Amino acid sequence: MADSIISGIKEYINGCEALSGFKVNKRFIDWTDDSPDNFGIMPDGEKPIKKFITGGGKMQYNFTLYIKRLSTDDAVRLKNAELLEKVQRWCEKNNLENVFPQLPNGCTPTKITAENAMLIEQGRNNNTYQIQFTLLYTKGGN
């Protein structure tokens, strides 16, 4: 059981084999640094989709994974694009197999998606990529 949704998401993303080459001290929450080969998970927060009369309801939690990678030539950029595809496929497979982030007590995950993987900033030597995630879950009431 996770203490918070974001801590469960952090552990979930850290379990992605495609991202295993990133050093643990290069995996951040709410930011990325300017060096290559790091990533940050930026939470966008929770929003209710359907409220239950007894409290709680169906909820949505959005977050974005930002990845900084070297971009020195076209072959490297191709590898970066392949990395984005691998992360999306990993998430899709996990969703089909009901492998979800651990959530706090009273929260039950039902679906997770990874979409809109793209280059968002081209730097001189580093590019920044993003993948947008949506986690759906049920939150218990009173």
Provide the residue ranges of all domains of the chain, joining segments of one domain with +: 5-139
Q: What is the pLDDT of residue 1?
A: 83
Q: For every residue of the chain, which 3-state class applies, written as one string?
A: CCCCHHHHHHHHHHCCHHHCCCCHHHEEECCCCCCCCEEEEEEEEEEEEEECCCCCEEEEEEEEEEEEEECCCHHHHHHHHHHHHHHHHHHHHHHHCCCCCCCCCCEEEEEEEEEEEEEEEECCCEEEEEEEEEEEEEECCC
Q: What is the pLDDT of residue 34?
A: 87
The CATH fold assigned to 5-139 is STM4215-like (3.30.2000)
Evaluate if residue 76 carries a pLDDT over 70.
Answer: yes
pTM to 2 decimals?
A: 0.94
Q: Which residues, at least 6 apart from 98, have a Cβ–Cβ distance to it below 8 Å?
A: none
CA atoms of 4 and 119, how far apart (whole Å): 29
Evaluate if residue 142 carries a pLDDT over 80.
Answer: no
